[in-house]
Structure 1
């Protein structure tokens, strides 16, 4: 059985008109931030509009924020963001680097899992913003017979604007299902030894190719408002711990 196969269970005791029941499978769904479909104005506007309308990302009142977003920001920002995306765009595959990398990650996980479980596990990826959407991939997995789904936001540190909104979209997708699969999510892995070791190995490889070994390593993380921390968001603290463990 491949990831795309749909096999039906025999229902010898069921009436002839009984709906077909798919053979049960387990799904692993990797979730990344998102990407525009292209770097042109309208593709960028759709992507930025979805991203910046998320209340987990911008929590201002829509009555105040949406007029500013729709009339000013989304009029100008798609041009500058599109130019930035064009400078790094994967022209050969016609996709953003994030899409290329996420596809490669998914294929690596799929290959490793297929060695262990021989096709009984379906591995896919989705984007919180843009395509493939979380809802479309959840539907694909349910249609293939996934009765259990492990949802894996690809963020080492937890933040409301990243992991939480990805989980939100996943759970919203389950609302639409008549037969909901059992679901669980992956915890943040900011302090897992294997993650820290992977970071250290990557850095050492970069040092090996440098003409001069740097004296200082600066770890840069995406910023969030301080009030998010004061409201209980653990992102700041988890970034601090990742850096400390990496240093050690």
Structure 2
């Protein structure tokens, strides 16, 4: 029975029910609503109480989190956000880019009238729960969840899926769900990142001696437990090198954004930048292939802090290659992944 026939045969007192649509939900990490300490504290509390992010016992971690971290870090993190805040829209650039990606994807999928695109954040607003409920109420009987992470990690892709399925628990009429898998070695993605490197280098009046592909780190213990993230980051970089036709000594993998005293994946980006400068490398570039959109970790930690470290340690030229963001290359990747994963639904 098709949807039109079904609607015609509903009893007169039946509640209005919308159906027949397919939802696509783009989901990024998250962002505070503002840069003031209260907003940052609220955001960090949600982020750092996620057991996928911090796997320590809550009995050991929560006293540190609520007694020290959430009382000392919000002001520092807020000041960092202020340096890269989108003043025009009064929001973080991560929110700006993710919203734009959803709007542009809607236009790119205009040939699929039953598809409805929305966006959400794992931490902060708009929440995954609110958007799944919104899509379901608007008639989406099927939803494609798209965690915006090319490389899989339990602390990124898995926690997005966890939160999404938690939201389904409270729905009487659950939509069918698909989740986008890792695409760290997808050739459309690799070509887009490689093209962004070539295009950025073409704007320089100097040639970087080495390119660092800096990925967000995870504790080494997570890798030892079986997380495939480390291997997928290395494969992405290898495929980029092959696509660019470069020698092995011109590109290398590093990991950034470590937190706390535990050992994280190495080599560390900040230590590598410092070491390269001290050993005589004068010109470097850094790119973040694991980030779909520029954010605090790229705009402040790399473009500002890593640059300062390199120059203060003896380097002369530093450049940060922007993320794909909502540019043509980035949108080509997102559209490609979505169309692939919608196969059989549309």
Q: Is TM (by shorter chain) over 0.5?
A: yes
Q: Is the 8 A contact 1:9 1:23 kept in 2?
A: no
Matched, 1:180 2:161: no
Matched, 1:48 2:44: yes
Secondary structure class of the residue paired with 2:236: helix
Matched, 1:18 2:14: yes
Secondary structure class of the residue paired with 1:147: strand
Which residue of structure 2 lines up, in the alignment, with residue 201 of structure 1? 195
Secondary structure class of the residue paired with 1:218: strand
1:109-166 Cα distance to aligned partner (Å, 9 max, x none): 111012x11x311000000000000001111101101000000000000000000001
Matched, 1:35 2:31: yes
- C-alpha RMSD over aligned residues: 1.4
The match for 2:54 among 54, 58, 65 is: 58
2:21, 2:132 → 1: CA distance? 13
Residue 176 of structure 1: CA displacement? 1.2
Q: Is the 8 A contact 2:19 2:141 kept in 1?
A: no
2:191, 2:43 → 1: CA distance? 34
Q: Is the 8 A contact 1:151 1:186 kept in 2?
A: yes
Residues matched between the structures, number: 240
1:37-74 Cα distance to aligned partner (Å, 9 max, x none): 00001100000000000000001111111111011100
Matched, 1:165 2:163: no
Residue 108 of structure 1: CA displacement? 1.4
Which residue of structure 2 lines up, in the alignment, with residue 131 of structure 1? 125
Matched, 1:80 2:76: yes
**Structure 2, gaps ≥5 residues long:** 243-346
Q: Is the 8 A contact 1:24 1:145 kept in 2?
A: yes
Q: Is the 8 A contact 2:30 2:125 kept in 1?
A: yes
Residue 9 of structure 1: CA displacement? 7.9
2:45, 2:196 → 1: CA distance? 34
State the TM-score, normalizing by the size of structure 1: 0.94
1:31, 1:155 → 2: CA distance? 9
1:76, 1:167 → 2: CA distance? 31
Which residue of structure 2 lines up, in the alignment, with residue 102 of structure 1? 98
Q: Is the 8 A contact 1:8 1:23 kept in 2?
A: no
1:168-225 Cα distance to aligned partner (Å, 9 max, x none): 0111111111100000101100000000000000001110111111121111111111
Do the aligned partners of residues 9 and 59 (structure 1) sit closer, same or farther apart at CA in structure 2, a change above 3 Å counting?
A: farther
State the TM-score, normalizing by the size of structure 2: 0.68
The structure whose RCO (Cα within 8 Å, separation 6+) is larger is 1
1:9, 1:123 → 2: CA distance? 26
Secondary structure class of the residue paired with 2:56: coil
**Structure 1, gaps ≥5 residues long:** 1-6
1:9, 1:150 → 2: CA distance? 26
